[in-house]
Amino acid sequence: MTVSFKFDSLQYLDTDGAVVFEPLPEWANDAAILIPLYRTMVETRAFDAKAVALQRTGQLGTYASSLGQEAIGVATASVMTADDVLLPTYREYGAQFWRGTTMAEILLYWGGDERGSDYAGPRGDFPISVPIATHACHAVGVAYAMKLRQQPHAAVCFVGDGATSKGDFYEAINAAGVWRLPVVFVVTNNQWAISVPVSKQTAAETLAHKSVAAGIAGRRVDGNDCLAMKQAATEAIDNARNGRGPTLLEALTYRMSDHTTADDASRYRSAEEVDAHRLQDPIDRLRRYMESRGLWADAEEQELHDATAQRVEQQVKVYLDTPAPAPQTMFDHLYATLPRAFDAQRQAVIEEK
């Protein structure tokens, strides 16, 4: 017996920003909705370029770029309330900026300063999870607490395509399904897990198919189409908040950058492949769409770029002007009470100064 499931991908805009699927959501003509989305994507990209430059000039430890993936985080976060909880990976700055985490905090984080994970803004949000997929289980815990407290909130957990191969991910979607938890797993399918392409990662037809075995809703969306991304996230988060269960939302995109500044992607993929994906750029697509509707023009574009450059510089200054933490603070957040075995090490670090 053969059983098959089909997951279409939601898409409204083609690569020129022309509408290919209707009806559009009502808000798709509303400049007050679209411009902040566009602005945050542009800011995220400007930040990204600056962060890479800081790393290349020895002013940042390492950095994972979100180039080309900006729509996913920004559009999803735009649907969240302050009481929802974000559990990000290391490539979701767009979502974090939308929610109030600052560029300076992200720079501190990649500069190796723990204070960069102590967000002044969204206090309930989780820090960046570099361990792959472990935070999917934390998202289940967060959502379980929301359900227990009968709160109409959602936990939103971002993972990569590679993360969906981890046991933590399967355990998380299984538990989310059986307990019908208010959680959305946004799978950022950027086609690569460092040097491993999705085709070598799974035999599943799509990553959305993984929802079937967990008994949860599955959806695919063009993650470089900001409108489609916002609409799909709206439905998934609304379902979570209103007791209609979890969703696995597979957002299709492409990792335009190296995996991190410690990687050289030209060793395992061709320039032609990367170039082909430039056409899909989420920022260009939304801009062309807004221009075609008379919602955006060159003068506003220039103004935004100037303001963004200033903002990024100001945040870089905050980062560079922050005195480095004392070396012994590396022990501060390891345990509630530091085990005795670490006392000597901590003391040695203090004395070495």
Ligand X SMILES: Cc1ncc(C[n+]2csc(CCOP(=O)(O)OP(=O)(O)O)c2C)c(N)n1
Q: Tell me the catalytic residues.
A: 255, 259, 268
For residue 27, count other CB atoms closer than 10 A to its CB.
14
Residue numbers 107-166 binding Mg ion by CB under 5 A: 160-161
Q: In the complex, what is the shortest distance from the CB of residue 164 to ligand X, in angstroms, rounded to a whole number?
A: 7
Q: Which is nearer to ligand X, 133 or 290 (CB)?
A: 133
Q: In the complex, what is the shortest distance from the CB of residue 324 to ligand X, in angstroms, rounded to a whole number?
A: 25
Q: In the complex, what is the shortest distance from the CB of residue 194 to Mg ion, in angstroms, rounded to a whole number?
A: 8
Q: In the complex, what is the shortest distance from the CB of residue 163 to Mg ion, in angstroms, rounded to a whole number?
A: 8
Q: Quick one: which of 239, 238, 186 has its CA closest to 211?
A: 186
Burial of 130 (0-12, 13-18, 19+ CB in 10 A): exposed
- In whole angstroms, give the CA distance from residue 155 to residue 125: 9
Non-local (6+) Cβ contacts of 285 within 8 A are 13, 14, 15, 16, 17, 224, 225, 226
CA distances from 258 to 101, 142, 191, 246, 255 (A): 24, 32, 12, 32, 8
Strand 85-87: give its sheet, edge to edge.
9-10, 217-222, 247-252, 183-189, 155-160, 85-87
Q: In the complex, what is the shortest distance from the CB of residue 348 to ligand X, in angstroms, rounded to a whole number?
A: 29
Non-local (6+) Cβ contacts of 336 within 8 A are none
Non-local (6+) Cβ contacts of 200 within 8 A are none
Stretch that binds Mg ion, among 190-198, 246-254, 260-268, 269-277 (CB under 5 A): 190-198
The amino acid present at 301, given as its one-letter code, is: E
Per CB under 5 A, 68 contacts Mg ion = no
Non-local (6+) Cβ contacts of 178 within 8 A are 215
- 194 binds, options Mg ion, ligand X, none, Cβ within 5 to 8 A by partner type: ligand X
Per CB under 5 A, 43 contacts Mg ion = no
Per CB under 5 A, 89 contacts Mg ion = no
- 122 binds, options Mg ion, ligand X, none, Cβ within 5 to 8 A by partner type: none
Per CB under 5 A, 223 contacts Mg ion = no
- 91 binds, options ligand X, Mg ion, none, Cβ within 5 to 8 A by partner type: ligand X
Per CB under 5 A, 190 contacts Mg ion = yes
Q: Which is nearer to Mg ion, 207 or 216 (CB)?
A: 207
Per CB under 5 A, 218 contacts Mg ion = no
* The residue to which tokens 């979607």 are assigned: 173
Per CB under 5 A, 257 contacts Mg ion = no
Q: Which is nearer to ligand X, 10 or 132 (CB)?
A: 132
Stretch that binds Mg ion, among 80-88, 94-102, 191-199, 315-323 (CB under 5 A): 191-199
Q: Quick one: which of 111, 1, 20 has its CA closest to 57?
A: 111
Q: Which is nearer to ligand X, 78 or 201 (CB)?
A: 201
Q: Which is nearer to ligand X, 195 or 242 (CB)?
A: 195
CB of 7 closer than 8 Å to CB of 250: yes
Non-local (6+) Cβ contacts of 59 within 8 A are 111, 320
Q: In the complex, what is the shortest distance from the CB of residue 335 to Mg ion, in angstroms, rounded to a whole number?
A: 32
Judged by phi (left if over 0) then psi (alpha if -120 to 50, else beta), residue 100 lies in left
Q: Which is nearer to ligand X, 188 or 239 (CB)?
A: 188
Q: Which is nearer to ligand X, 220 or 259 (CB)?
A: 259
Q: In the complex, what is the shortest distance from the CB of residue 72 to ligand X, in angstroms, rounded to a whole number?
A: 11
The residue with its CB nearest to ligand X is: 160
What six digits make up the tokens of 88? 């990000």
- 121 binds, options Mg ion, ligand X, none, Cβ within 5 to 8 A by partner type: none
Which residue ranges make up the site for ligand X (CB under 6 A)?
Answer: 89, 91, 130-132, 160-163, 188, 190, 192-194, 255, 259
The amino acid present at 275, given as its one-letter code, is: D
Strand partners of residue 157: 87, 185
Q: Binding residues for Mg ion, per CB under 5 A?
A: 160-161, 190, 193
